[in-house]
Structure 1
Amino acid sequence: MDTCLFVDVHIVQTVPPANLNRDDQGNPKEAYFGGVRRARVSSQAWKRATRTAFAQQAPEQDHATRTKRIVGELARRLAGRTGLESEQSARLAAKLLEPLGIKEGKKAGDTAYLLFFGYRQLEDIVDLVADDVADLVALTDEQLVVAMRNLPVARKLQSGHPVDVALFGRMVADIPSLNVDAAVQVAHALSTHAVELEFDYYTAVDDENLADETGAGMIGTIGFNSATLYRYATVGLHQLVANLADTEAALNAVETFVQHFARSIPSGHQNSFAHRTLPSLVAVVVRDDQPVNLVSAYENPVVARQEGIAETSVLRLAAEYERAVRQWGDTPVHAAVCHTFAPGGEVAERLGAAFGAQQTFPELIAGLRATLVELVKRAG
């Protein structure tokens, strides 16, 4: 696919008291932006939440995992397919991966860094030796190294990527041939307004406490804040097509990403705060020039007024989008919005003028798919 197409996703979402993403002190992450302290949720946290969400709905063979235990996972699959004992399968797995030059970790069987790969890719590696395991286990270590040297193990990890790897990429610093350029960029979510860190002081009662004993069984504190967040991500459809080598699969992946990025939320202290909410607004913008993050709408922090922070935040977003389009003259090829504000009101009218008529989320997804199909057809 020669034409560059970017799918920008803009989300405004209000989260109640929560600790979605902890820093090294156990408190919610923060950032200074526009001269004030903001709530922040790292891009890594929301990417993981998104990956976890769509992995729950995909068949197991299409799952990906990020782990230091690729040798153990490969050994498990070898044993399951061939009936080898664990010691023999572990030896074969280690020798299969040895020619790649992956550095060993401090713990036996671990790699020095996390590797991101698909279960189906491991099954493809097992295919290389499954019919010959009886002969291979009889070889000495030196003979086994020679036998494995010319097997296309690296090629199996360079192709057939699962959606997770194709979207979020893979970097192996000392083995560039295994790198996969990410098709998705995710910004750190920022509150549209200033926040203050607060603390929940809690006690836990011992249910078996005797009547003559006083005090709590446990005392502690949890840092939290509450915020209306601006979230942004962009998907490069052209890079996704290159990673998956399949246009239809890439279109499916865009749809999957937008759905689960919008619906997912990091799970930090979830049982303590039950913080799951849905966005007040999801806008998608398809561009053929470059991605555009609209966080500058909030450089001047939103201040709470009668109409509410979320309402003011989406009005700011619409104004920033229209200003960017007008001043730079690079009209997007598609824009659509799903929001929860009352139809016919000022907010709905302003959003409609900027992004188009209000749609349900399924309608937004279907319209995005139809637009991308048409654009790909024209480009092809």
Structure 2
Amino acid sequence: MSRTILDIHILQTVPPSNVNRDDTGSPKTAVYGGVRRSRVSSQAWKRATRQAFAQLLDPSELGVRTKKVAEALAERIAALHPTTEAPEALALAAETITAATGARIVPPTRKSKAANDGAPDPAPESSYLMFLSARQLDGLAEFAVEALASGDRTTFLKDKANRARARELADTRHSVDIALFGRMVADATDINVDAAAQVAHAIGVHAVEIESDYYTAVDDRNSEAEPGAGMIGIVDFNSSTLYRYAAVDVDQLYRNLSAGPGTDEQAGKAVRRAVEAFVEGFVASIPTGKINTFANHTLPDAVIVKLRSARPISFVGAFERPVPADQSGGHVAAACRKLAAFVPRIEKAYGAEATGASWVLLVGDGTAPLAELGREVTLPGLVEAVGAAVDEAVSRTAADAIATRAEQRG
């Protein structure tokens, strides 16, 4: 069966930086091809992409991932029912979340013990991060107010039909970020959401060494008779040309965004907005670790986007043998030459040539070898072109879904 898969490949040079630290404070690394490489975890770049969504999408299309889910819901309950006191709104929110997800929402023990004698308990929390869309929270708030109006909210929330309705409210109308990155609900696995997007750990195309910056800070009020630093410290860093990769299963994204009331046409438009936001957010974002220290605000040197009909394909194998610096000392040009040679070979060997369109965004003379891999575009042009191609593919998917439902009814 034909699929619609979007592959995004990026080469990006990052100067001295520490965008993603390990437990010792050093930049993360990995051994690949027998040498130590720079690494940025997939989670770090997913977080950066999600943060970029705030500038690219309407808040109603996004979600919140938090343990403080009762607080988020209580705010909405209070807005709908202003006479509800804060403690009651929190308690009602906690009970509603439990009805919808099965999760226990209680005051955290550690914070409760730390509270002063006689002080109220802290707000109840989930024991794990819970991911709910703005529309799901709005629906659950309306449900909670309905429970309040029933006169006996405990009986209302224990009713089997009402609990099923609450579960449905938490499992429909998913936000773009939930649809892309998925959701796990430990206490109700039936409302988990399979991620439509996969993001690889970014990895350096060449060997890397960790360096250390010894720094000092001067006390502004010290006199000349008080020489020396007010503080000293060490921060580790490295610099690297990274290969970044992500894939989006457009069909899974459509299924995720189709959950709940709405037409196939509305879901199709939501898919296009989601894909366009993901492409722009993933390409242009960067994790913010130690960003104030290093100001490593770079953009990619090269971006390759391919639309496929079978399965995602990473091109990281092009860099299994580390890329040596060229005569000028850089790695980008050599990395582009290796990638330009690798891509057609692996696609031809496996009969995996992209059946859809391919686009490239290139900066600098060193990236010229990649021009043969697709139509050259700017970032706005790339976002528009990918959105249009995905919209066309999703229209076919929606038409098939409508036809299937018609056959089932007939």
Same fold (TM over 0.5): yes
The aligned residue for residue 408 of structure 2 is: none
Letter of the 1:119 counterpart: A
2:330 counterpart of 1:331: no
2:43 counterpart of 1:30: no
Superposed counterparts of 1:79-94, under 5 Å: 79-83=78-82, 84-94=84-94
2:272 counterpart of 1:259: no
Name the % identity: 43
Contact 2:6 2:250 in 1 (8 A): yes
The aligned residue for residue 233 of structure 1 is: 246
Aligned counterparts of 1:104 and 1:135: Cα–Cα separation in 2: 22
Aligned counterparts of 1:132 and 1:175: Cα–Cα separation in 2: 22
Letter of the 2:370 counterpart: L
2:279 counterpart of 1:279: no
Aligned counterparts of 1:86 and 1:281: Cα–Cα separation in 2: 52
Letter of the 1:94 counterpart: A
The aligned residue for residue 146 of structure 1 is: 158
2:74 counterpart of 1:69: no
Aligned counterparts of 1:129 and 1:335: Cα–Cα separation in 2: 48
SS at match of 1:16: strand
The aligned residue for residue 124 of structure 1 is: 139
Q: Report the Cα offset of residue 214 of structure 1.
A: 1.6
Aligned counterparts of 2:147 and 2:127: Cα–Cα separation in 1: 30
Contact 1:12 1:282 in 2 (8 A): yes
Corresponding residue pairs, total: 371
Aligned counterparts of 1:369 and 1:260: Cα–Cα separation in 2: 14
Letter of the 1:102 counterpart: A
Superposed counterparts of 1:149-228, under 5 Å: 150-151=162-163, 152-228=165-241
2:391 counterpart of 1:373: yes
Q: Report the Cα offset of residue 234 of structure 1.
A: 0.1
Q: TM-score, normalised by structure 1?
A: 0.92
SS at match of 1:293: coil
Cα distance, 1:219–1:280 mapped onto 2, change above 3 Å = same
Q: Report the Cα offset of residue 147 of structure 1.
A: 6.0
Cα distance, 1:248–1:134 mapped onto 2, change above 3 Å = closer
Aligned counterparts of 1:57 and 1:329: Cα–Cα separation in 2: 36
The aligned residue for residue 289 of structure 1 is: 310
Q: Which moved more, 1:3-12 or 1:183-192?
A: 3-12
Aligned counterparts of 1:177 and 1:220: Cα–Cα separation in 2: 49
The aligned residue for residue 402 of structure 2 is: none
Q: 1:261-294, CA deviations, whole angstroms, 9 ceiling, x for partnerless residues?
A: 0000000000000011010001101111110011
Contact 1:95 1:148 in 2 (8 A): no
Q: Which moved more, 1:209-218 or 1:145-154?
A: 145-154
Contact 1:96 1:148 in 2 (8 A): no
Contact 2:77 2:142 in 1 (8 A): no
Aligned counterparts of 2:95 and 2:105: Cα–Cα separation in 1: 13
Contact 1:12 1:229 in 2 (8 A): yes
Q: TM-score, normalised by structure 2?
A: 0.86
Q: Report the Cα offset of residue 221 of structure 1.
A: 0.8
Q: 1:8-27, CA deviations, whole angstroms, 9 ceiling, x for partnerless residues?
A: 00000000100000100011
Task: Extract unaligned runs of 5+ from structure 1.
Answer: none
SS at match of 2:93: helix
Aligned counterparts of 1:217 and 1:352: Cα–Cα separation in 2: 53
Aligned counterparts of 1:146 and 1:363: Cα–Cα separation in 2: 53
Letter of the 1:40 counterpart: R
Task: Extract unaligned runs of 5+ from structure 2.
Answer: 110-121, 259-266, 400-410
2:379 counterpart of 1:361: yes
Q: 1:171-194, CA deviations, whole angstroms, 9 ceiling, x for partnerless residues?
A: 123311220000000000000000
Contact 1:17 1:225 in 2 (8 A): yes
Contact 2:80 2:142 in 1 (8 A): no
Q: Report the Cα offset of residue 116 of structure 1.
A: 1.1
Q: Which moved more, 1:162-171 or 1:77-86?
A: 77-86
SS at match of 1:318: helix
Q: Report the Cα offset of residue 352 of structure 1.
A: 2.4
Cα distance, 1:365–1:210 mapped onto 2, change above 3 Å = same
Cα distance, 1:260–1:243 mapped onto 2, change above 3 Å = same
Aligned counterparts of 2:149 and 2:273: Cα–Cα separation in 1: 41
